[in-house]
Structure 1
């Protein structure tokens, strides 16, 4: 299976080098600015990592975000990530948000999750967003969220909803990561959710 084109966009040579080394061996196109990305005209389905401190990064209200997110998968990063910015990034259509200088293992996990068509939200940020959602709205009854799931699917859904990675879940349940992915796909289908964030909101009784 061919890999989607990979674009790494930052004006920081050190960050570009960290990303490139972490995401090897997949070849990447390195770009210094958002304008350079526009000129490169990535094909549909491309995966784009964006440095959140790019000088020419458009504001969140800019219509270009929606245009880009409809054609490509955007991972937004920042050296000082916060919940408010993460929400703006996801509302703009990004499918991943993480610390720009995350360790190589985390960057690889982000890459794998978003490449599979899912949304990446780190453990700490997930907990922050869930906490804010609980405070912002009355919770809905959650006792029946697991109807239709098997006991193993319920176990995996609970772990995933609390930001456990596929590797963590595999170790906890003594199964392979491939089996975890298969269970998650079945869970998403049965609960009519599209990603881990929606699953977490459902499990925690927020939606």
Structure 2
């Protein structure tokens, strides 16, 4: 399991970060020469975006380390840019302990962690690039096709439930079936698979 390295300016955030990371975490006081000081394969970095740790510096670190970036005021554009640069997670600086723990588990399992708004923005940017082939529809029921079509429009589960006049629980059930049939694990993977359908 990768040992967390923490670089944060806000003492209130530090408390949550340390609680989420456990006793194995190490606090960083500077970002100089980290790849020579720490093994890039056995450490991951939790870092607050600030004057002392700019988006550019974080993008450089993401070339060598798994990086979770934290923003005081997260926004979709910044999140998308950071994911394009290779970060593994993007959260609010003041996220709760449970949310940080979930992100750590997800990233250690080899996935990425992004908030719903950033995921919606990513899906929207993928959708705008090109029109996918529609052969994937042959594998799904009519209702699953309707749910998937709304996912492709970057709609949330709540919005899908309202539009189709079903419960969010039913939307989740349809999505589980779609994920299984199309052999994907999440919404982003679903959109990518459909966009690149052969």
Please give the TM-score of this superposition, normalised by the length of structure 2: 0.67
1:125 aligns with 2:115: no
Query: In 2 relative to 1, CA 105–61 (structure 1 residues): closer, same or farther, beyond 3 Å?
Result: closer
Q: Contact 2:58/2:69 (CA < 8 Å) preserved in 1?
A: no
> How far, CA to CA, are the matches of 2:50 and 2:104 in structure 1?
20
8 Å contact kept, 2:46–2:68 = yes
Return the alpha-carbon distance in structure 1 between the equivalents of residues 46 and 137 of structure 2. Answer: 34
| Equivalent residue number for residue 88 of structure 1 | 81
Measured after TM superposition, the shift of residue 197 of structure 1 is 6.2
The change in CA–CA distance for 1:99 and 1:200 in structure 2 (over 3 A counts) is farther
Aligned to 1:177: none
TM superposition shift of 1:67: 3.5
Task: Say which is worse superposed, 52-61 or 3-12, in terms of deviation.
Answer: 52-61
Contact in 1 for aligned 2:55/2:82 (Cα 8 Å): no
Give the superposed CA RMSD.
Answer: 3.8
Partner of 2:131: 139
User: Counterpart of 2:195 in 1: which secondary structure?
Assistant: coil
Of structures 1 and 2, the larger Rg is shown by 2
Pairwise CA distance, 1:51: 0.6
Residue 35, structure 1, aligned to residue 26, structure 2:
no
Secondary structure of the residue that 1:67 maps to in structure 2? coil
Q: Deviations over 1:120-175 (max 9, x none)?
A: 122222112222332x323212451785x9x9xx8xxx7xx7888xxx99xx66xx
Q: Alpha-carbon deviation of 1:114?
A: 0.3
Superimposed CA distance per residue, residues 69-90 of structure 1 (whole angstroms, 9 cap, x where no aligned partner): xxx3111110111121112211
Match of 1:74 in 2: 67
Aligned twin of 1:176: none
Alignment of 1:45-124 (within 5 A): 45-57=42-54, 59=56, 64-65=60-61, 67-68=63-64, 72-124=65-117
1:126 and 1:163 in contact (8 A); partners too: no
Cα distance in 1 for residues equivalent to 2:10 and 2:76: 24
- From the superposition, tell whether residues 9 and 78 of structure 1 become closer, same or farther in structure 2 (CA, over 3 Å): same
Distance 1:146 1:8 in 2: 48
Which of 188, 191, 194 is 1:201 aligned to? Answer: 191
Number of residue pairs matched by the alignment: 174
2: CA distance, partners of 1:80 / 1:65: 21
Extract unaligned runs of 5+ from structure 2: 158-167
Give 1:40 shift: 3.6
